[in-house]
Structure 1
Amino acid sequence: MMNMNLITIERHRSSEPELVVNRETAFDVGIERKKRAYISFGNQKYCVDVAVLDTVSRGKLFIPAYIIDKMHVPDYVVYEVRAYGNEIRLGPFIGILGSVRYENITKDRLEHEKECIRDYSKLHGAITVFSLDSVNKDKRLIKGFCFNPEDNSWKEGIFPYPCAIYRTIGLNEDWQNHFLSTIGDTVFNGQYFSKWEMYKWFSTDASIKDSLPETRLYRSEKDIFDMLKRQKCVYIKPDWGMKGHGVVKASITDEGILFEYRKDKKNNRIVAENRIKAIRIMKDLFAYNECIIQKGIDLIKCDEGVVDFRAVMQKDGTANWVCTVIVARAGAKRSVVSNISSGGKGFMPEELLKDVMGMNNRRALQKIIEMRKFCLKVCRTLDGFGVNCGILGIDIGIDYTGKIWLIEINHRSPHPAIALCIQDRTSYNKIISGPLLYAKSLAGFGRNVR
């Protein structure tokens, strides 16, 4: 049996390894019969005798100061306590891996991180921001800043490894395996995958493969020529690109092959009248094995701007996927991309569906529900591939028959400002704070744990 209770830590001067707790608090936590147990915080553990008394204050754990210091337990935060057998776990202990270098964790950066924990009452525990170069692999310790809810500040210190880590930077194979070996599979959004990998993975799934535009890896100019023989147009995209940067549309016209792309906030058009000129343009624009070629889909348009939909998907405090928000994006006039950073605009999805496709309220709502279900299927399929993500930005398109297409997946912390394009402050806040609720679940303090 395992229970949960909110407690604070109090130091006492005993030289003996004794945890002292009020009888009612011990009953709430589920340790009223314990004589011996061990305190667990992050990757640190310490055996203690348990003294259950009526004479000490309720809602506190009295722990010898030398144990607190040895385990590097912050004594200024509010903890949830969970008892698993003989383990008395203090938590949640969540790490935010915010930078490669410690010097980049500035005051401004820490102020920004407060947005993630604006509702500390739903999190509790120790929330610590740290950098990769502040990790001591030998001692299994990190140097960082722990949030102090007493005065809404950050307190610098040395801490053990957290129970869960929200990654906001890339991790190489060595670091991934180091954390896997020391804290388990509780580092999320730490594995990057390319557009080509995404296509290869999802093309093996029978329920999704028909929603993928045909895609090839660009190995030579011949690949583009071959695709253009079969398709009206293709899109060439950087395999690791983001925000629509570097996307080129190639199509067959009466004049030759037309290359269209957006650069410096302007639409650019180049026509290759013959194969030799086309090859020269391709060599200038694309690098072998670093781009994908994607079949052009006749997606719906708004004022001559291509339309797609960004669905922000998040795992909640029960580690289940939910759709936080869907935003329709219409690209700048005649632009090849829909990204707002490239001149596009955001719209409520139901309004755009009604305006562009002539849907009534009921049909528009049904299509949005269909999009949500599709995105949930994509997320769960990605879980099945072994990728641990807590937040995703899924870009989907709709053609004029109403079919939904999977265009891209942004798994590198999609920007919350997308919700502000439709004045949805509630979703904006959820996008910011949601990853730590999932981290809390990974740390063993999820809402579905009883």
Structure 2
Amino acid sequence: MVNLKKYNILYKKYYKRKIRLSKNFIQEFNLTSKVVTLKIGQWSKQFNIIESNVLSDDTIGLPKSKIPFTLPANLTYEIKVEDNMIHIGPIIGILAKQKSNFKQYEFKKYNSRLRNYNEINGVVFLCSEAGINMEERTIKGYYYNPNARNKKMKWQEGIFPYPDSFFKRVRIQKVLQKELLNQMGDTIFNSHYFDKLKLWEVCSGDSEAKKLLPESRFYKNQEDIEDMVEKHDQVYIKPIRGMQGIGIIRIEKKDDQYIITDGEGNKVKFPSINNTMDYLNTKLTNKHGYILQQGIPTLYKDKHTDFRFYFQKNKNKEWICQGTVGRVAKENRIVTNYKHLSGLLSGNKAIQLLFQTDSNHAQEILNKTIEDCMIICQLIEKEMGHYGDIVFDVVIDENKKTWVLEINNRIYGLKSLQRLKKFKMLRKILTTPIEYAKALTNF
């Protein structure tokens, strides 16, 4: 059974190899054996228990020397008791980066994710890939201490067991990925990284999802570009593992000329495909390769316009759309990343301006787009792994059809919400993944 009360940890040296519990605690959880299994994260060990006349009912006495990692006594915990196993937690990890060193400003960013810590409890720690010790099955990181005397002390160093759940925000080595999945099962999200090509391959195998993505293909040679340019008015060349619009190029064919536009809005024209390829070969240098994607025209006053939809799983383990932002690029810009924007609007307001309609009809269009994106949410989980925090970049064309351009399943920016002063939405987006991580622990 799970007890919703909060519990404290008390360490004493003289406890040696035994756990101290109050009489009421033992009776409440029907602990009939003198031996129990103590479980913390993915670690477990058997201990003898002794009834204590001095401990309060909400305190568990532990032998400090027998707990081989950091379980801070200055935090509050929840417990689950089943079949003489006492599970103390939750222990939640956030895999935030690949290198081991954290700077103070990085901790500050994560403070806002734990504004609702009183509803989470237990240990929430930040770590890097470099801090994970597969041999010991421990993780070096920093846990959040809401009771710290000042902000600089809110994150304190420690060694932790593999957690009850992991919020994974970076790509990691395959051998470590396999180790964590073997030890933790399906309690890691966003479990697998996928790129633009993988997204297209998976969606193209599903009749409903395929309709929602522009035609895409892996760029191999000149024939691929020629074929795509003949079929579509615009073709985007995107790095398969690109981020923030870096390295994106658009190619168009008009009046027997090939027009190339880069992310900064610079244009060059060529009279033949051979000249065009000579130029492109100097630009397409990303070692992971490129994807060719059908361009979907969508303009507001001659400016490219798209939408960002924030999808997350909540504490009920259900996909929800937390909100939408409309993004208008600067004139002649082909991407809508933050530095290329001329305007930001709420999703509803952007629809109103784009289609010259009222708020109710705009919301109907948004709701239909959310339903379309949900199809892909379900599909990528079925085919690619466990996810709980992803962002869709979407174009809605003149026929109000949804086109999913990209899905970000790692770190994504939130400056747009700050600029729009959407602080309530921002807080929900920051805190919901930790709520979902707790739901995965079953505390």
The interval holding the TM-score normalised by the smaller chain is over 0.9
Alignment-derived partner of residue 325 in structure 2 = 327
1:82-231 aligned at under 5 Å gives the runs 82-102=80-100, 104-151=101-148, 153-231=154-232
Residues 40 and 91 in structure 2, CA contact (< 8 A), matched pair in contact too: yes
Shift in Å at residue 315 of structure 1?
A: 1.4
Residues 306 and 396 in structure 2, CA contact (< 8 A), matched pair in contact too: yes
User: Aligned match of 1:308 in 293, 306, 309?
Assistant: 306
Shift in Å at residue 211 of structure 1?
A: 1.4
Cα distance in 2 for partners of 1:243, 1:344 equals: 16
| 1:250 pairs with 2:247 | no
Cα distance in 2 for partners of 1:351, 1:233 equals: 27
Residues 327 and 349 in structure 1, CA contact (< 8 A), matched pair in contact too: yes
Alignment-derived partner of residue 448 in structure 1 = none
Q: Which amino acid aligns with 1:143?
A: K
| 1:233 pairs with 2:230 | no
Q: Which amino acid aligns with 1:367?
A: I
Residues 22 and 54 in structure 1, CA contact (< 8 A), matched pair in contact too: yes
Residues 305 and 338 in structure 1, CA contact (< 8 A), matched pair in contact too: no
Alignment-derived partner of residue 423 in structure 1 = 421
SS at match of 1:298: coil
Relative to 1, partners in 2 of residues 1:377 and 1:51: Cα closer, same or farther, differing over 3 Å? farther
User: Aligned match of 1:405 in 403, 420, 431?
Assistant: 403
Cα distance in 1 for partners of 2:93, 2:429 equals: 18
Relative to 1, partners in 2 of residues 1:298 and 1:112: Cα closer, same or farther, differing over 3 Å? closer
SS at match of 1:57: coil
Residues 196 and 239 in structure 1, CA contact (< 8 A), matched pair in contact too: yes
| Alpha-carbon displacement from aligned partner over 1:59-109 (angstroms, at most 9, x marks no partner) | 211223333x3354222211111123332111110112233332x212332
Provide structure 1 residue ranges, at least 5 long, that are not aligned to the other structure: 446-450
TM-score after normalising by structure 2: 0.92
Alignment-derived partner of residue 63 in structure 1 = 62
Alignment-derived partner of residue 393 in structure 1 = 391
Alignment-derived partner of residue 10 in structure 2 = 10
SS at match of 1:337: coil
Q: What value does the CA root-mean-square deviation take over the aligned residues?
A: 2.2
Residues 98 and 105 in structure 1, CA contact (< 8 A), matched pair in contact too: no
Alignment-derived partner of residue 382 in structure 2 = 384
Q: Which amino acid aligns with 2:68?
A: K
Shift in Å at residue 50 of structure 1?
A: 4.0
Q: How many residues align?
A: 437
Relative to 1, partners in 2 of residues 1:16 and 1:189: Cα closer, same or farther, differing over 3 Å? closer
Q: Which amino acid aligns with 2:381?
A: D
| 1:36 pairs with 2:29 | no
Residues 31 and 83 in structure 1, CA contact (< 8 A), matched pair in contact too: no
| Alpha-carbon displacement from aligned partner over 1:418-446 (angstroms, at most 9, x marks no partner) | 3223221011112222222222122332x
Residues 169 and 190 in structure 1, CA contact (< 8 A), matched pair in contact too: no
Q: Percent sequence identity over matched residues?
A: 24
SS at match of 2:385: coil
Cα distance in 1 for partners of 2:262, 2:161 equals: 49
Higher mean displacement: 35-44 or 237-246: 35-44
Provide structure 2 residue ranges, at least 5 long, that are not aligned to the other structure: none
Residues 170 and 411 in structure 2, CA contact (< 8 A), matched pair in contact too: no
Shift in Å at residue 333 of structure 1?
A: 1.2
Residues 18 and 50 in structure 2, CA contact (< 8 A), matched pair in contact too: no
TM-score after normalising by structure 1: 0.91
SS at match of 2:15: coil
Relative to 1, partners in 2 of residues 1:217 and 1:65: Cα closer, same or farther, differing over 3 Å? closer
